[in-house]
Amino acid sequence: MNIIWWVLRPFYWLGLLPVIAVFLIACAHFSRDTEVSLGIMAIALVYFGLGYLLFSVAPRYFKSRLDRMVEKAKMTGFNPSHEVVSVMFNRYVGFDAAAKKALYVDVNLNSATLIDFDQVSSWELVPDKSPLLLFKLVTRVPNLHEIGVRIKANQFGAWKSDMHTLFG
């Protein structure tokens, strides 16, 4: 669902300028044709309301769902020293260095999985030209062979050193 949300955002911005222009024209011609102007203004206000939902309410909702699942795991004693959150894909990976466990949460699958460090086969940071790079964690857990989470490119060095510290 998050991906649909991210795809809709640019389309909303593209449509916003014509909607604002039509809304202002309808306001200027309100005295000439009230009935048509009211209809146009109502449709424009609905469009503005959808924008509020798209840019304000939806991100908080998606983030809160992910945070609730992570908090449930933290209540069981999981204490992460390193965390990465991919709000776009509804994923979280946290590493508890003291307990030598990793927590993977995927809201889309409604799953939270604790993984022992010895079940992690390898990890990789895949840089590309985008502002986000891919952090891959390859495990020996059935049905969860590869975990991918996007992180900011400016955190590449910090994550690389942290993963070397945790896994060698």
Summarised one tens digit per residue, pLDDT across range 63-91 is: 898 899 999 989 998 999 999 988 777 88
Does residue 157 lie in a domain region?
yes
> What b/e sequence results for 7-21 when a residue is b if at least 16 CB atoms lie within 10 Å of its CB, and e otherwise?
eeeeeeeeeeeebee
- In tens, the pLDDT along 104-163 reads 999 888 889 999 999 999 999 887 777 788 889 999 998 899 998 888 888 888 888 988
Give pLDDT, residue 99: 92
Does residue 29 lie in a domain region?
yes
Does residue 144 lie in a domain region?
yes
Position 1 pLDDT exceeds 60 = no
pTM of the model: 0.74
Q: What mean pLDDT comes out for the span 94-105?
A: 93
Does residue 70 lie in a domain region?
no
Which residue range is the domain that position 39 belongs to?
2-65
Does residue 73 lie in a domain region?
no
Q: Are 86 and 135 in contact (CB under 8 A)?
A: no
What distance in Å separates the CA atoms of residue 8 and residue 4, rounded to the nearest whole number?
Answer: 6
Token pair 């690389």: residue: 160
